Copies of this chain bind each other. A is one copy, B any other.
């Protein structure tokens, strides 16, 4: 199972973007993950802890968590690692793998340079 972790927004359309992204990743990565779903830090449903709990209840023994964040701010450095640590205590038998956030992807800079050229 892959969870795409986003901030969440008061703007409905912004949360829908994340849901659409999760859906498309689910199509592209169907062989790697049984399911891809979004989860939000605040302002949108489901919250990250509930999404992890739901994945475990549904039988996942591995949950990959991908922070869909550009900057290593408070959310990426503190809030998300804390939520994951808490979830590990709730589900000691499940492998919760927190990936580096999007802003750290090595391919991002060449993509931006190509687009802005």
Contacts and interface: CB of A to CB of B under 8 A. Distances in A.
A107 B115 contact: yes
Copies of this protein in the assembly total 2
A24 B111 CA distance: 12
A25 interface: yes
B25 A72 contact: no
A39 interface: no
Contacts of A81: none
A64 B77 CA distance: 31
Interface residues of A, number: 41
Contacts of A72: 11, 13-14, 17
Nearest to A20: B109
Given A69-B70, A73-B14, A109 B21 contact: yes
A71 B112 contact: no
B9 A73 contact: yes
Nearest to A77: B11
A99 interface: yes
Contacts of A66: 112, 116
